[in-house]
Amino acid sequence: MPSWELVEKLRHTVNMVHQSGILGLLLQREGLNYLTENGTVDEALNRVYNKAAVKEDWSTVRYCASILHKVIDSMAPSITSMLVAGKIVSYISAETKTMSEVAATAAARFPHHVLKYGMSFVTPLATVVAVSVAAHSCTA
């Protein structure tokens, strides 16, 4: 399918997963500065990334972050903010685990807490890390 047809398909697609996939193909073929009807591929990817984050569509967030090369050098400031807010944080390195195994490990560590959301980060060493935050404040 030619790039111009992908742009046309993008225009009629409302699903964020499909949008990110189409934009990923356009990025691979044409680059970040390729113009779509609503700006460049870079701008469109960032819009999908932000919209997915608001809707807590973490797989789309992770995909967009990976193709935009968004890397977190240090999670310390974010984790500190969560701890100050009274949240329980579970940090699990997943170098050799699947994300479902990481989620199971987090659930096992805090079985009585409902996990509000999970985030995955890709570090410069390509280690996948999951951070799960309990929905309820810590109680002593």
Q: pLDDT tens-digit profile of 41-92?
A: 999 999 999 999 888 888 888 889 889 888 766 677 777 777 787 776 666 5
pLDDT at 98: 57
| 102 contacts 94 by C-beta, under 8 angstroms | yes
Q: Average pLDDT in the 84-107 region?
A: 61
- Find the range with the poorest average confidence among 1-15, 68-82, 121-135: 121-135
| 116 contacts 106 by C-beta, under 8 angstroms | no
CA 105 from chain centre, in angstroms, equals 20
Residues β-bridged to residue 130: 92, 120
Percent of the residues in the chain that have a pLDDT greater than 90, as a whole number = 34
pLDDT over 60 (residue 131): no
pLDDT over 90 (residue 9): yes
Backbone angles phi, psi at 74, to 5 degrees: -145, 125
The overall pTM is greater than 0.75? no
